[in-house]
Each structure stands twice: as structure tokens, then as C-alpha cells.
Structure 1
Amino acid sequence: APRVGANGPNTGGMGAVSPNPGCTKALCGRVLDTMVRPVLRHFVAQQTPYCGFLFVGVMLTEAGPQLLEFNVRLGDPEAQAILPRLDRGEFLRLCAATAAGELGDFALQTDPRPSCAVVLAAAGYPGTPRLGDPIALSEALASDVDPDCWLVQAGTALRDGVLRTAGGRVACVVARGDNLPEARRRCYSCVSQISFAGMQVRSDIGEGVSKR
């Protein structure tokens, strides 16, 4: 059954939305001031400059935001929700500005439409995943080219002409919409057209985020 709420084992991530309406300026400022800027100051003090992505894993609790981890890469599946909202070529320009030390003058151009990303996980995940299950797409999904919906493959493999599961997190469905409920509806509509034995999907990605 789909896991809903703050239940179930820890995973690498089962979905994301962008932007998160619950992420207020005050919350972002608190995270920057208490978690990010101290690390940047430490880089300067240690004369160890860093140029690249700094992923900050934060859990929101009744006691406030709690730092879980730092990664020097984009998050997965966070990137799948964020990158479709960048204008064409914007990611390349962002990386170039980062490498050149010109982020202070960089104005990021984004698509205002929200996006929703939902991960499809294999049977057994997040423990030992079952591999080799055939993946089926509906005829409509396989033939329809929707510019605002993507299937991002991860743990898949093409064997004897059949697409099969080959990892714990098999794929990620991403969709954009005029608002977050529309993005969620479109995303889960696409999810419903994909199947494989033991497929695990959370049914509550993006649900109630504005209330946090």
C-alpha cells in the first residue's frame, strides 16, 4: 500500500515539489544563517574555497529546522523537480557563472509554474530491491509526447528488448502545472500509467506542504 505521512523506513527520497510554498523567507533565512553561512565562513577561515553545489538536507520539526546532512551535489529527487523550472540553457549559464565566480551578478530565470516529482521504487526498497521485473507503460503514455511531463529513468535496464527494474529507485515521474495541485494531478496521472510488480509509490508527495 502507498506510504502516507511520516511513516515507514528512511529512504533516499520518494518525491519533491518546487517551489515549496511552506518554505517562507523567514525559514530560508534561518537555514542560511544557522547552517549554510557558518560552513561558508569555515571554508574561508580554513582557506579551502569550494565552488559547486551545496545540498542542505533539513528536517522541519516542532523545535525548528534540524540539519541532517550536507552533500556536494544536487539532491535526488529534488533536482528532478527543480531543473524543469529553469529556462532553456539556464542551468549551463548557472554552472558557468559559478565556475567564474560571478554568481553575485547572476539573475536566475525560472518558470513560475510549479513542478511535482514522484519516485517509483522497486519491491524490497529501501532494503534489498528485487531486480528484473518488467516495466509496463500504458499505450497513451508511451505514444503521447507531453512537453510538461517527463519520465526520468534511474534503476532501469533494457534486457532482450524489455525494460526492467535494475535498482531500488527505478524512475521518477515529473510534471509541471499552472499551480501545485495541477502539477500533482498530472504527475500522479502519469504514475498511474506505469506498472511493474511490487512497485512502491508515495501517494502524498506535495500534499499539505503549504501548511508547514
Structure 2
Amino acid sequence: MRRSPWRWLIAVSVLLAAGSVALWADPPDFVTEKKAQAAIVNLSDRLDASNTSEMAKKIVAEHQSPDISSIFAPRHRGGLGIGMATKAGHRDSIDALIRDFAHKKTTTEAELEEYYSDYLRVAKVMQAMAELAPYRASQFVRDNQDRMIEWQKTALDFKQKTAAFRKAIEEKDPKKVRMTALDLHHTCCDCHNQT
């Protein structure tokens, strides 16, 4: 009994189809990152809620620190990205956008108007990350009381700077956006020097 070439063709086709689906799926390590990012974006949409602090604490308890921080990574590496604002010449990364705003003097009112929704989304995500900051301390400072005090000061500074950055975005003022982004970038550097 000879096997039909059609059976082989069908078997190979099924294997190729299954392989192509596996290639297009998110890599396994991005799955946990995307869950953390979704929780952060959800928090960013509820910054005025009465239970914002509890939501932030829950996110930190439920997600690993690298998954939380992945939100800043370039989109092609699993980060959240900056949406259509890449058309303004920015790399598709929240971290890169903050640095661009801090160091480039070419941002215009027209750009802030055109990509307002994307920039506002980034500002709100930054505010959500500032809400998480106090609860992330234990992962980095352990039992060092002096470092804990410094961490809490930096977390408060982060919260104030992200609020100022969001206000500058809402006002669509290029100079204020640059200055608040620079302040925010310095706060980020201060925080990372503590870890």
C-alpha cells in the first residue's frame, strides 16, 4: 500500500502553519511584561481615583520589577512605545522620548498639538510609575534605613516631576515640556543611582 503524496503535503502544510503561528506570537518573556504594562496603563487611566495608592501597591505585589520596568523599553524589545509620536522623529520608547524632550530644543507647539494624545498617554504612564515607586523600595534598599529614606524622597520627587511634566504637555508649551522633561530625567537618574 503506497502513501498518497497528498497526505505528505497536508502534513507538511499543517506543520508550516503551526510554526508560522508560533513565530508571530509574543515571545514568552514578553507575556509577563505585557501583563504588567496593561496594569500600569490601567492605573494611568485612573490617577484621580481614591484608591490609586492601593492599585499601585497591588501592581508591585503582583508583578516582577523587570516586568514593571519593561514599560520604558523600546517597543521592539517589548516596551509600551509612544504610538504615532514616532512620526515626529522620536524612537519608539518612553525613555527615549523623555530624553529627547529634555535635550532637544526643536519641539514645537504644532508637534505637541499633533501628537497630544500620545504625549499625554506617556505623561500619564510616567505618573502611574511614580505611584508605584514607593512600593518598589523594598526590592532595592533591603533593611538599610538611610537608603529607604533617600528612596522615599526620590519617589516623592518623581511624583512631583511627573505631575509637572503632564501639566506642561497639557499646556502644549515646548519650553515647559523641555524643562520638566529635563527635571524628570534627572530624577530618573537619581533613582537609578540608588539601585
How high is the TM-score relative to the length of structure 1?
0.25
Give the number of the structure whose alpha-carbon radius of gyration is greater. 2
**What TM-score do you get using the length of structure 2 for normalisation?**
0.26
Question: Which structure would you say has the larger RCO, counting Cα contacts within 8 Å and 6 or more residues apart?
Answer: 1
